[in-house]
Structure 1
Amino acid sequence: MGRPAVVKALWGAAVLVLVAGCSSGDTGDRPGTAPPASASARPSAHPSGGSTAPGGRVTVTGTLTEGLKSPWGLAELPDGDLLVSSRDERTITRVDGRTGAKTPLGEVPGVVPGGEGGLLGIAVRDGWLYAYLTAASDNRIVRMRYGGGEGDRPGAPEPVLTGIPKGIVHNGGRIAFGPDGMLYAGTGETGRTGLAQDRNSLGGKILRMTPEGRPAPGNPFPGSTVYSYGHRNVQGLAWDPAGHLWASEFGQDTWDELNLVLPGRNYGWPVVEGRAGRKGFVDPVAEWPTSEASPSGIAYARGAIWMAALRGQRLWRIPIRGTERSGDPRAFLTQEYGRLRTVLAGGGGRLWLVTSETDTRGTPGPGDDRILRLEVS
């Protein structure tokens, strides 16, 4: 559908202050009339907590923990415990992967929550805890020394990449390490649509960098961390076993997207939204009316990309083979747990799924927000 429509800086090194709690947001509930098309299918609910649809099965095997406020980022430690970030409370909490017991690790200094900004995506690697956060002047990626053992606390944050544009909306925020050992980040265009096509801006991009924040070797634009551009708001990144990078993206009023991300390619925003078939732009592998998706986190498991939907309040399964979709997307858990923010693969067909009812746009009930255990096939 056509639609006209790095600089490193010193940052104060304050130590983490012990605190508990949480509260969050995004473009998951924007107005707009969606067209009736979409390759979605409503699942049938099962008393066991599972849902089935042609081509797959999801079983909710339990709630790991609950009572989280504005949970956003999720990372798994080598021992199976989880770290979860709170967007609005600016905190990191450790969750026991077996019992669900929560241990507050403290507040991350320098976070300035507001609108869709705050403490967003997190990742762990080689004794560091990485975080994508909204600061006073920008969005940025920092890292903190973190041993990962029981009782360990993150150290003072060090800047990795600064100067990512910030806004009340469209801050992106997902970070993840790829199979190549490089750090990837999905950013938003902050509502300033022109940033997405400006290759000199870090807004509306997927970025690729070394763990220290330098442009990664082999990046398509010399001396730049920009890996792909023309994005509106990327909040999901995942790799399949062949090493292909997939990303979820918020549309405006018409189409949300799942994209196969290739280096140096232009994904169209704001010139096009959804499939356009126009030379110079990459069409999405799958698209949805915004009322059925508003996608945030994604993960790969069992031959498919699994996509958490905020406004759509469902978990999408998109089967893939190689670089193409191998069947129609199927919806699971539709409106069973409310808004879904983050999904993380745990291996062996296991997924962790984070709800997002306390992000100021949901309708929190008793126990919200929570981390669910899922088995998929």
Structure 2
Amino acid sequence: MKRASVVVIAVAVAVLGLSGCTAAPPAPTATADGAPAPAEVVASGLDAPWSIAVHRDTVLISERDSGRILQLGADGETRELGVVDGVVHGGEGGLLGLAFDSGGRLYAYSTGESGNRIQRFDDPDDLGDADTILDGLPAAGNHNGGRLAFGPDGMLYASVGDAGDPSRAQDEDSLGGKILRITTDGDPAPRNPDPGSPVWSMGHRNVQGLAWTADGTMYATEFGQDTWDELNIIEPGANYGWPEVEGAGGEDRGFTDPVRQWRTDEASPSGLAIVRDVILVANLRGERLRALTAENPQSSVDLHTGDRVRDVTVTPEGEIWMLTNNTDGRGDPGPDDDRILRVELPTG
């Protein structure tokens, strides 16, 4: 039986010393014995879900293997919005990241016949009408990257894995092992390090999470190989060292070191979200949701344990939603898996 436990954010504030944060959110309701309330189930019965995308009152979930996009109703029930055409599932490939732009257009990262691709749906209710804005991205049975996120600059950021070939990460002519920054039409974004290239940073193995603090600092989570998983601050044009270095220790060779690293059996950090400068890290192999801060990234608390957590997001109402991933072939699914779990973060 999986155990869903939540540590109150207010406690995390005290433990981590979040002196730079504004008004920590109050604690969720506690149980009669004083223990934190368990995470609340928002939705259940999902099959290998990968990403949550929220725009206003619309919540969409991608399912990796089926290529389906589900829409979550106010009653907690999901309905199939549609299936993305041409998705080819194999290993870690399939339908991966979702993101909305400010106008409500939907973007999806998926594996197709000719590699990974990014598609735009101007009407999210019509998945048959897709504009492929970038394709031919390296794809394989593993290390497909796949996270999409819009930055505070309005540009679309995408993580592309090394697709099982570590040399791609240091190859300036390959988009593998990179974080890309593109326009909503798929062109290299203005003010990229190389004006003709979509590459924002390089030297990555398999970035799985992208998020920004209130001051615009960009963070990314990255799967290591055998030794260290990473949390990195992403700077334009920086090289994060893979495969020459895993974890810290590459600065003397011109690489950028992570701000936090974990042993691979403790983490496999996936989705990433930031609320009031509290950094929330979803962990697959580590089966937990961690919280830490930019001021003190070496200390963290667990907000939830007992599930492989693939993604985490903060809703417009300020609630933390976690997407479990026990049905992806590597977990131990329970009868209701997979689920979206919620910890409310009241505003004010």
Fold agreement, TM-score > 0.5: yes
Tell me the residue number matched to 2:294: 320
- Paired amino acid for 2:110: L
Selected match of 1:141 from 110, 118, 121: 118
1:298-377 aligned at under 5 Å gives the runs 298-321=272-295, 325=296, 328-335=299-306, 338-347=307-316, 349-375=318-344
Give 2:89's aligned residue: 113
Does the residue aligned with 2:294 lie in a helix, a strand or coil? strand
Cα 1:351–1:202 shift into 2, 3 Å: same
Q: C-alpha distance in 1, partners of 2:311/2:219?
A: 15
> Does the CA contact (< 8 Å) of 1:187 and 1:233 recur in 2?
yes
1:60/1:373 contact within 8 Å kept: no
State the percentage of identical aligned residues. Answer: 50
Q: 2 CA distance for matches of 1:117 and 1:89?
A: 11
What is the match of residue 62 of structure 1? 40
In the superposition, relative to structure 1, how do residues 69 and 143 fare at CA in structure 2: closer, same or farther (>3 Å)? same
1:73 partnered with 2:51: yes
**Aligned-pair distance for 1:77?**
2.1
Q: Displacement of 1:327 after TM fit?
A: 5.2
Q: Corresponding residue for 1:230?
A: 203
Match of 1:25 in 2: none
Contact 1:302 1:376 in 2 (8 A): no
Q: Quick one: which amino acid aligns to residue 93 of structure 1?
A: L
User: Does the Cα contact within 8 Å between 1:140 and 1:163 map onto a contact in 2?
Assistant: yes
Once structures 1 and 2 are overlaid, which stretch shifts more, 286-295 or 125-134? Answer: 125-134
Alignment partners' CA distance in 2, 1:349 and 1:285: 26
Instruction: Tell me, in whole angstroms, the C-alpha distance in 2 between the residues paired with 1:115 and 1:362.
Output: 14
- In the TM superposition, 1:29-108 aligns within 5 A as 50=7, 54-55=15-16, 60-79=38-57, 81-96=58-73, 98-108=74-84
CA contact (8 A) 1:122 1:174 kept: yes
Q: 1:50–1:318: structure 2 CA closer, same or farther, 3 Å change rule?
A: closer
- Scaled by the length of structure 2, the TM-score of the pair is 0.87
Counterpart code for 2:243: P
Query: What SS does structure 1 have at the residue aligned with 2:315?
Result: strand
**Residues in 2 aligned to 1:165 and 1:364: alpha-carbon distance in whole angstroms:** 30
Structure 1 residues 237 and 45, CA gap change in structure 2 (3 angstroms): closer
1:180 aligns to what? 153
The answer for unaligned runs of 5 or more in structure 2 is 19-26, 29-36
> Partners of 1:127 and 1:333 in 2: how far apart?
31
Count the aligned residue pairs: 321
Q: Is the 8 A contact 1:67 1:370 kept in 2?
A: yes
Distance 1:99 1:159 in 2: 33
Deviation of the 1:50 alpha carbon: 4.4
| AA at the equivalent of 2:190 | P
Normalising by structure 1, we get a TM-score of 0.81
| Alpha-carbon distance, 1:326 to partner | 5.3
Q: Within 2, Cα distance between the matches of 1:192 and 1:315?
A: 29
For each residue in 1:70-108, what CA deviation from the matched residue of structure 2 results, as whole angstroms up to 9, or x when unmatched?
Answer: 1001101212x3100000010000002x32121211110
Residue 90 of structure 1 contacts residue 118 of structure 1 at CA under 8 Å; is this kept in 2?
A: yes
SS at match of 1:278: helix
Shift of 1:166: 0.3
Shift of 1:144: 1.3
Q: Deviations over 1:200-254 (max 9, x none)?
A: 1111000000000000000001200000000000010001111111000000111
Q: Is the 8 A contact 2:107 2:121 kept in 1?
A: yes
The whole-number CA distance in structure 2 between the counterparts of 1:307 and 1:260 is 14
2:69 and 2:317 mapped to 1: Cα distance?
Answer: 26
Amino acid in structure 2 at the alignment position of 1:145: D
Tell me which amino acid in the other structure corresponds to 1:74: I
- When residues 346 and 153 of structure 1 are mapped into structure 2, their CA distance, relative to the original with a 3 A threshold, is same
Q: Aligned to 1:194, what secondary structure does the other structure show?
A: helix
Q: How does 1:156-171 map to 2 (within 5 A)?
A: 156-171=129-144
Contact 2:84 2:128 in 1 (8 A): no
Q: Residue type of the partner of 1:340?
A: V
3-state SS of paired residue (2:248):
coil
Question: In 2, Cα distance between the equivalents of 1:249 and 1:223?
Answer: 26
RMSD: 2.0
Q: 1:105–1:242: structure 2 CA closer, same or farther, 3 Å change rule? A: same
Distance 1:124 1:155 in 2: 17
Cα offsets for 1:334-375 (capped at 9, x unmatched): 22xx20000011246421100000101111111000001113
Letter in structure 2 aligned against 1:173? G
Which residue does 1:22 correspond to in 2? none
What CA deviation, in whole Å up to 9, does each residue of 1:15-62 have, x standing for no partner? xxxxxxxxxxxxxxxxxxxxxxxxxxxxx987xx54666339786451
Report which stretch shifted further, 312-321 or 177-186. 312-321
**1:199 positional shift:** 1.4
